[in-house]
Structure 1
Amino acid sequence: MTKLFNHIMVPVDFSDVSELAIEKSIDIANHFKCNIHLVFTETPGLFSKHSGHLFSSLSGVPADAEARLVRLQNQYTDQLNQGLSIHSCIRQGNKNRSVIDYARRHRIDLVMVGRGATMVDNMFNRGFNINEITKGVKCPVITIREETGQDAWLNIVLPVCSALPIRKIMFASYLARKYNSRIHLLSIAGDENNQDADGNQYLHKSYQLLRENTNIHVECHTMRGHNIAEATMRFAEKINADLIVVNPGKETMLSGVVNKLFKGFLFNESKIPVMTISTAGIS
């Protein structure tokens, strides 16, 4: 089986939730024998509520940022299995562009991002744009929120729409083999008399693909609804899922004017970790 994860990147802002992302990356790194990259980026002349420091108008970096990053590196290196390592880097400029550039330059295979606990946090804390990052890095991006536990990913929810989700299946099955997970394939039907023919067609094809090529436990589910992101979040919460695997676009877009105005995407609102995967890899 091809090794999909070799280098994990964690954007760091010294908040509790970014440390939570580091802790989860340690677990994944030990499972898949990966190295970890901690990257701190800040824009000049702005105050970070997470770090509690005023940034220099010249450098954009708090005076103790390097020392704090080294402390994190030393703290978590001891938790890695022998032979694995943690690298750290300080960058300046736009947060999203910095993540994308670093990921491309260092061949990052997985990005772990800590998210604020509320829509307001994500709107006003100059957080990361997951859609932009996912499309830019072309590797999976996992978002972790403060409510996230540290248990293994035993139940993975994978929505299926109007195409066969090959890349989602590839990464979900890769994780499922390591964690002995159960994959829940999910599609939606508009109402009792109007079944989503495409969704059900590809739901069954996805199930067949997994059953014929793996020994992973797989279940198929159909929920009534018109928004796949909302149905996915409801279903994942109902079964106490540990991970949701989606493509950017309609699978992450919650309905309603408020959600459109205040970035109410699935990866912002879900208390369950969300892995967002671009439909195409880097060429």
Structure 2
Amino acid sequence: MAIAFNTLLIPVDFSQNTDIAVKKAAELAGKEGAEFHLLHVLRAGSEVDEKFQRLESMIAATYPMIRVRRHLLRGRSVQRAIIECAELLRPDLIVIGKSKPPKKWFGFRGISPDIIAKKSNYPVLTVKPGSADCKTRVILIPIRNFLPERKLEWAVMLAKRYRAQVHLLAIQDRQEHKDWALPQVFLKAYHQMREHLHHPIEYSATGRQSTAKAALNCAELIMADMIVVNPETESGVSGIAGYRHISDLLGKDSKIQVLDIQPYKSELQN
């Protein structure tokens, strides 16, 4: 399955978050041209026309092949606005720039990239300012108890686009039975990647119970630039501070990008 980046939805707050989201979206769009849909959620009495004009001028000057459309929505929930806009636009990808919380815009009723990906069914890439000047060289793919077809398709496409190394991480939940399907699923995932990528596929295994933390620990160990996860089950972290997205555990200067991809319905039924 070929994956194109013709339509990208970028929530904007005109801060450093916006700058990094636009830059990473442009990296993926490349020279092919794309349409950026810039979404801003207005508070009562706010005026952003001049900010939009400056942002649009910057994109036109830096990325002349990209078309830009602006969207202004009023409401108190940024997350709901993103989901509603995605349902209308049907983007190929949603790109969210996010500094380490708390942050004024993202603290406004908060957003969870994985919940957006799950409810909208569109992939969500979360990037931190630290990834601005970093190339994507290593992509980490957690593998659990089912074959993540959609996630693997995206991993192949991204690995080819960035000429990046792929690392598969087998994660066995301690609560699962010993005779479960991880070895078989992992081998299928490995061979599927080998069929589409010419360079060697790296791999490792862990028995950690928290998938998100296991993926993050491995990403830091192998110096990965991107983690491709299923939303909530692989990107959610529960603790004393409540539920958090894996990106909230990353510092502002982290180069690690997180891509949440909701599985195909057929995957969830198996």
**Length-normalised TM-score, structure 2:** 0.86
Post-superposition offset of 1:198: 2.6
2:156 corresponds in structure 1 to 173
1:134 corresponds in structure 2 to 117
1:40 corresponds in structure 2 to 40
The equivalences for 1:1-283 within 5 A come to 2-30=2-30, 33-44=33-44, 56=45, 62-63=46-47, 65-82=48-65, 84-93=66-75, 94-118=77-101, 120-121=102-103, 124-189=107-172, 197-255=180-238, 257-259=239-241, 261=242, 263-270=243-250, 271=254, 272-280=256-264
1:48 corresponds in structure 2 to none
In 2: Cα distance, 1:33 partner to 1:235 partner: 34
CA pair 88-161 structure 1, distance change in 2 beyond 3 A: same
Post-superposition offset of 1:216: 4.7
In 1: Cα distance, 2:130 partner to 2:261 partner: 22
Higher RCO by CA contacts (8 Å cutoff, separation 6 or greater)? 2
CA RMSD of aligned residues (A): 2.3
- Letter paired with 2:38: L
- Contact kept? 1:189, 1:196, Cα under 8 Å: no
1:51 corresponds in structure 2 to none
Structure 2: gaps (5+ residues): 266-270
- Contact kept? 1:100, 1:137, Cα under 8 Å: yes
Note the alpha carbon deviations across 1:107-154, whole angstroms, 9 max, x for none: 211001112314x44884433222331123211101112332422211
- Contact kept? 2:115, 2:231, Cα under 8 Å: no
Post-superposition offset of 1:258: 1.5
- Contact kept? 1:253, 1:265, Cα under 8 Å: yes
Post-superposition offset of 1:86: 1.8
Structure 1: gaps (5+ residues): 45-55, 57-61
SS of the residue corresponding to residue 19 of structure 1 reads helix
**Length-normalised TM-score, structure 1:** 0.82
- Contact kept? 2:20, 2:132, Cα under 8 Å: no
- Contact kept? 2:114, 2:235, Cα under 8 Å: no
CA pair 72-254 structure 1, distance change in 2 beyond 3 A: same
Note the alpha carbon deviations across 1:159-215, whole angstroms, 9 max, x for none: 001100101001111111111111111012468xx9684333211110011112332
In 2: Cα distance, 1:43 partner to 1:244 partner: 33
- Contact kept? 2:165, 2:199, Cα under 8 Å: yes
Post-superposition offset of 1:81: 4.9
Post-superposition offset of 1:25: 1.1
Post-superposition offset of 1:42: 2.7
SS of the residue corresponding to residue 127 of structure 1 reads coil
In 2: Cα distance, 1:195 partner to 1:4 partner: 40
1:53 corresponds in structure 2 to none
- Contact kept? 1:228, 1:251, Cα under 8 Å: yes
- Contact kept? 1:187, 1:228, Cα under 8 Å: no
